[in-house]
Amino acid sequence: MKKLSGLTVARRMLATTVAIAAIATVTGSGCAADPDAGNDKIMVMLDDVLDDLEDGDDMILALGFRVGFWYGFNDATVGGIQTPPPNLFLPEPGGAKTPNYSARTTGSGFTLWGSGIGLDLNNTGDPMGGATNRSTYDASAFKGITFRARGNVPVRVAIATEAVVDIAYKGTCVPDATGIRTCDDTHGRLVTTGPEWRTYVLPFDSMRQEGFGQIFPLDLHKAMAVHFSVSQNLSFDYQIDDIGLYR
């Protein structure tokens, strides 16, 4: 289990108590085709920021009773390459509005279902790299997720809940005995990225399962992770920054 340094704890405690910095405004959208094109103003309380990545480590911000880590994942195609490797995630220098770091992944060669990066919402850490301490987080008070991104491929943004997560990773979905992929069909939505940083605002009620797995309603009371993934057969390079939930 990775512990917070005294300096990090102090910084995060200060962040939750400085009233003048308590609210950030981002541009929202109600348009399903282009989720960052609207004129609504979405207010993100500082305590609702998942991570700005400015501390340069693989931990999300210890705010809002959340604790978790960043990681990568892929379909394990032989010869597929993903950087950073799934279990060795570190932020990349350079970011959006918070300029020091962002979450970046590059790669190619995944031919089954693809790859991605994600963060857990309630995981105190496992020194052996497994899912022993993974649990659920109640995100039902929130309407959606906002973040900044840039890249060369469409990115699917998803919320993973207990019902769709495989029992091997502390969910309740029992995989099909035949080996057909029936778990991990998360509720999500595809966004278009480009070479410039853009702000995205995605309501949870606009997210849908892809349909390859078991179908469940979106239960935000039992959220487990946020994923940013790409489809198979793509050469990808994309960055994510300033992720938060909004009410």
DSSP-assigned letters across all residues of 198-242? EEEEEEGGG-B--SSS------GGGEEEEEEEE-SS--EEEEEEE
- Closest of 63, 69, 75, 65 to residue 16, by C-alpha: 63
Instruction: For each of the domains in the chain, give its residue range(s) and CATH number, in order of start.
Output: 6-246 (2.60.120.430)
- Whole-number Å distance between alpha carbons of 168 and 217: 21
pLDDT at 169 (0 to 100): 93
- Closest of 237, 148, 147, 239 to residue 198, by C-alpha: 148
Range in 43-52, 128-137, 152-161 with the lowest mean pLDDT:
128-137
Q: How confident is the model at residue 145 (pLDDT cuts 50, 70, 90)?
A: very high
The pTM of this model reads: 0.86
pLDDT at 128 (0 to 100): 53
Total residues found in the chain within this entry: 247
Tokens of 161: 């809940």
8 Å CB contact between 239 and 109: no
Tell whether the model's pLDDT for residue 127 goes beyond 90.
no
Q: How confident is the model at residue 16 (pLDDT cuts 50, 70, 90)?
A: very low
pLDDT at 126 (0 to 100): 67
Range in 73-82, 113-122, 174-183, 228-237 with the lowest mean pLDDT:
174-183
- Whole-number Å distance between alpha carbons of 246 and 238: 23
For residues 231-245, average pLDDT: 98
Tell whether the model's pLDDT for residue 239 goes beyond 50.
yes
Tokens of 129: 């790299």
